[in-house]
Amino acid sequence: MHKRPLSFYLIRIVALLPIALVLVGAAGQVQRVAWGTGNWLGEYSLKWGMGFFLFVLFCLALFALAFLATCFPHKLPAANYQTPSLLRWPVIVFLILAPVWLFQYTYWGMILTSLSFRVLVWGLAFLLVASILTRQVPMPNEQTLLISILLTGSVLAAAIPLVNVTSHPFSLEWSEGNRLWDYSTLFGRGLYIYPADQPLVPFLDFGRQLIGGLPFLLPNVTIAGERLWVALVAIVPYLLLGWSAFAATGAKRSTIFFAGMWAFLFLRQGPIHAPLVISAILVALAWRRPLWVSLPAIMLASWFASVSRFTWMFAPGMWTAMLVLAESSATANPLPPSARTWGRAILLGVIGAASGYFLPQVDFIHARGAAQAASDVLLNQSLLWYRLLPNSTYDLGVLVNLSLAALPLVAALILLAARNDWPLSLWQKLALVSSLLAFLVIGLIASTKIGGGADLHNLDMFLIGALFVASLAWPRLEAAWKESPRVRHIILLMAFLPALFALRDMQPLLRAEDLERLKVLTGRENMYRNDPNLLGLLPSHEKTERILDAIRNEVAAASQDGEVLFMDQRQLLTFGFVETALVPEYDKKYLMDRAMTDSFQPVFRSFYADLAARRFALIVTDPLRRPDKGAESSFGEENNAWVKWVAAPILCFYIVKTDLDDVRIQLLVPRGDSPDCALPH
């Protein structure tokens, strides 16, 4: 028998390290939950102590199996088996949904938060799915393993936005409620008590207003219905873009289907706002079409991108020119792009760029909206370069998270080039590299702007550009998959890593009464100091109704004396939870944006004058605090700007009448005295 070299085993032992780290981390998670539950052995209760030790034995058995499968596969022959056809697909569906159910729809999702533990559960699920699909254990083939990772990972990523589909009337995140109000203003202004001849312009560009506001074309849309629409918008366009981009490769329908799932996983790492995704869909569908089809489609894509965010105005034209120039020839020694190719690329690219710049200026439907007027302000906001590195606002920082998101794809493309499997001329390489580099630089700079750097959404143009490059290379990657184990491993990594973003972010939406159940599960009576707010739990349905009644009463009483300003929680007006005349000025998102310039803006002149004149009989806002924070705190600079320009001036003229901590709301009324307020200027 041929003796394997020592390097063979060393490589495989190194490959076992991630598995060992996951198992140790998972055991550590269970130990942290079990410790402190009793005094049977140390601080273990009998139930949790036995459970922990059995879990450790289970992890040791899994590692032994992984060791044999990696280092001595010949001693672990695969066993074929038959699953009854009536059970096969129900079991597969159960395994796909099990991690979502566990981490997003049960109490355990609040307790088992370790990424290692979650990777273990998900890993077991996709390995079992792959084994059932191949009817082979314990070593399913790599193709089925890839399919299983894509299926389970896509369901994980799709579940994230769906968790917020609820009828809870109050805002679920910092800006969620006011964003729902923004969406309603295009088609639902009749919902408000507000003069019909007065403009109603939210702090949101037209593209996002249009997409988010479509449900308001229907009568009596509910807050749960609008949240469902917002969740679907965070899923469906990504899938459509992936399928559109890969359909042009001529691959089989099954290949296009799973490639689209990978595209969904890849782009959800941003995440990316829907208008840019829709503009990219138009590019994907049009760039290979005849000019009479592609030109108007690219013009529409560029216009829609520009009226959705002014920084996107040139993206569709650049993507199109890149795709036209970089489409690979079938020859081993590719020729430079022909004059016809150059002409088409320049024509579509220039027309796209010009459309993005000039068409919105026609403004025949006021498409740029209030947010477009903020472009000059955005250019004057601070750049916080430290957010590219690990920091309190975004764990590992933009650069590390971007590397996890994009490096597997970059590595696959580099490997193709090294193997000469994807022949490109110099001009084609320049078209790809220069376009992606431009998008990357713009995205990194935007990510350092104050108010940003908490995710990868500012890398949106780069991520979509990388997706388009992947679609061009996909036929070559398919061919290399069959020949190169290294390519197969990288493609598996391309599917695996994006799902980690979803696993990390999964969390159930629980209510305060669930805290008692959490205590029972963990055996800890003093868990979380008996404060459901520390976990972000929603108040009970009964308490929610009591809070709503209190707000209604306060608003009704204040409306007799003057205007009521909803700086926050404007969705209460949108969906009829509270009735009063709308005051559209001074939305908290708008004020925060102006505050982050750390300079006196025109809006503050009128805002401070209205505060001093006690214009508002009641102000509804999220809790206002005065403490400054440093860079070691999450969004420390943003907090300080808000305190300086907004919170402190308000608290000088108004006092807190009611503090509703359970829903993060304060009700403020004018002071009775005349304080001497030193306002910023």
201-211 confidence digits (pLDDT tens):
899 999 999 99
Checking if the pLDDT of 292 tops 90, the result is yes
Helix residue spans in 506-540 (DSSP H):
514-522
- Would residue 495 count as lying in a domain? yes
Tell me, yes or no, whether 566 and 479 share the same domain.
no
Tokens of 53: 């030790």
**Residue 70 counted as domain residue:** yes
Phi/psi at 668 (nearest 5 deg)?
-115, 145
Residue 613 is encoded by which pair of tokens? Answer: 């004149």
Q: Are residues 270 and 338 in the same domain?
A: yes
Please determine, for residue 42, whether its predicted confidence score (pLDDT) is greater than 90. no
Task: Please tell me which residue, 274 or 422, carries the higher pLDDT value.
Answer: 274
In the chain, what is the straight-line distance between the N-terminal and C-terminal CA atoms, in Å?
84
Is the domain of 91 the same as that of 132?
yes
> Are 250 and 339 in the same domain?
yes
Are residues 42 and 157 both part of a single domain?
Answer: yes
On the 0-12 / 13-18 / 19+ scale of CB atoms within 10 A, 373 is exposed
- What are the residue ranges of helices labelled H in 287-362? 291-308, 315-326, 339-362
pLDDT tens column, 464-513: 999 999 999 988 888 888 888 888 989 999 999 999 989 998 999 888 77
3-state secondary structure of 677: coil
- For residues 351 and 317, the answer to whether their CB atoms sit within 8 Å is yes
Handedness of CA 356, 361, 365, 369 (dihedral sign): positive
Mean pLDDT of 295-311: 94
Instruction: Tell me the per-residue pLDDT of 566-602, one tens digit each, with 9 for 90 and over.
Output: 999 999 999 999 999 999 999 999 999 999 988 888 9
168 found inside a domain? no
Higher pLDDT, 4 or 515: 515
Q: What is the mean pLDDT of the chain?
A: 87
Helix/strand/coil for 148: helix
Q: Decide the pairing of beta strands 563-566 and 616-621.
A: parallel
> What range defines the domain where residue 311 resides?
234-505
Kindly list the strands in the beta sheet with 665-670, ordered across the sheet, starting from the edge strand earlier in the chain.
563-566, 616-621, 665-670, 654-660
Q: Report the range of poorest mean pLDDT among 101-110, 172-181, 360-369, 554-563.
A: 360-369
Across 130-144, 309-323, 533-547, the highest mean pLDDT is recorded for 309-323
SS3 109: helix
Residue 523 has pLDDT above 60, yes or no: no
Is residue 514 located within the same domain as residue 484? no
Residue 534 counted as domain residue: no
Contacts of 508 (CB under 8 A, 6+ apart): 103, 104, 105, 106, 107, 109, 110, 163
- Can you tell me the mean pLDDT for 254-281? 94
Could you tell me how many residues make up the chain?
681
403/408 Cα distance (integer angstroms): 8
**Is the residue at 192 inside a domain?**
no
Q: How far is it, in rounded angstroms, from Cα 14 to Cα 537?
A: 42
The pLDDT score that the predictor gives to residue 379 is 61
pLDDT > 90? residue 12: no
Distance, in Å, from the CA atom of 591 to the CA atom of 253, rounded to the nearest integer, reads 49
Instruction: State the pLDDT confidence band at 63, using cuts at 50, 70 and 90.
Output: very high
pLDDT of residue 543 exceeding 90, the answer is yes
Which one is predicted more confidently, 379 or 438? 438
DSSP code per residue over 606-675: HHHHHHHTT-EEEEEESPP------TTSTTHHHHHHHIIIIIHHHHHHEEEEEEEGGGTEEEEEE-SS--
Q: What is the tens place of the pLDDT at every residue in 621-668? A: 999 987 766 666 788 888 999 999 999 999 999 999 999 988 999 999
Q: How confident is the model at residue 96, as a pLDDT?
A: 95
- The answer on 133 and 120 residing in a single domain is yes
pLDDT at 15: 78
Q: Where do we find the tokens 């003057």?
A: 562
pLDDT of residue 447: 93
Q: How large is the average pLDDT for residues 247-259?
A: 84
pLDDT at 36: 80
Scan for tokens 């329908």, then name that residue.
253
Q: Please check the confidence at residue 278 and state whether its pLDDT lies above 60.
A: yes
Q: What is the pLDDT of residue 81?
A: 58
Judge whether 198 lies within some domain.
no
For residue 202, cis peptide bond before it (omega within 30 degrees of 0): no
Q: How does DSSP assign 357-404, residue by residue?
A: HHHHHH-TT-TTHHHHTTHHHHHTS-B-GGGGSS-SSSTTHHHHHHHH
Domain match, 471 and 515 both: no
Is 217 contained in some domain? no
* Inter-CA distances, 560 with 63, 340, 557, 613, Å: 70, 71, 6, 17
For residues 487 and 567, state if they share a domain: no
What is the C-alpha separation between 178 and 570, in angstroms, rounded? 5
Percent of the chain with pLDDT over 90: 60
**pLDDT value at 77 more than 80:** no
User: Where do runs of H (alpha helix) occur along 561-601?
Assistant: 571-574, 588-595
Contact 246, 474 (CB under 8 A): yes
- The domain boundary, picked from 492, 521, 550, lies at 521
Average pLDDT over residues 187-211: 91
Residues whose CB falls within 8 Å of the CB of residue 245, separated by 6 or more in sequence, listed in order: 260, 263, 280, 284, 467, 468, 470, 471
* Model confidence band, residue 678 (pLDDT cutoffs 50, 70, 90): confident
Segment among 61-75, 149-163, 508-522 with least mean pLDDT: 508-522
Is residue 43 located within the same domain as residue 153? yes
Q: Identify whether 190 is part of a domain.
A: no
- 194: tokens are 């507000």
pLDDT at 368: 45
Model pLDDT, residue 330: 47
Domain boundary (462, 486, 521) is at 521
Question: In this model, does residue 85 exceed pLDDT 70?
Answer: no
Q: Which residue has the tokens 């198992």?
A: 23
Residue 370 has what pLDDT?
43
Same domain as 301, residue 317: yes
Residue 193 phi/psi, 5° resolution? Answer: -85, 95
Q: What is the pLDDT of residue 550?
A: 95
State pTM to two decimals. 0.92
Task: State how many domains the chain has.
Answer: 3
Per-residue confidence at 246, pLDDT binned at 50, 70, 90?
Answer: very high
Note every long-range contact of 435-441, with CB atoms under 8 Å and residues 24 or more positions apart, other chains counting.
435/318, 435/319, 435/321, 435/322, 435/465, 436/462, 436/465, 436/466, 436/469, 438/318, 439/315, 439/318, 439/465
The per-residue pLDDT for range 314-357, each reduced to its tens digit, is 999 999 999 999 875 545 566 677 888 899 999 999 999 999 98
pLDDT at 269 over 80: yes
Distance between CA atoms of 32 and 47, rounded to whole angstroms? 14
Give the span between the Cα atoms of 482 and 133, in whole angstroms. Answer: 19
Contact assessment for residue 159 and residue 165, using Cβ atoms and an 8 Å cutoff: no
Residue 508, CA distances (Å) to 105, 242, 258, 399, 652 in order: 5, 28, 28, 29, 39
What pLDDT is stored for residue 328 in this prediction?
Answer: 59
HSE-up of residue 631 (Cα within 13 Å, Cβ side): 10
Q: 511 and 493, same structural domain?
A: no
Q: Of 478, 505, 532, which residue is a domain's last?
A: 505
Phi, then psi, of 331 in degrees rounded to 5: -85, 155
Torsion of CA 672, 674, 676, 681, to 10 degrees: 90
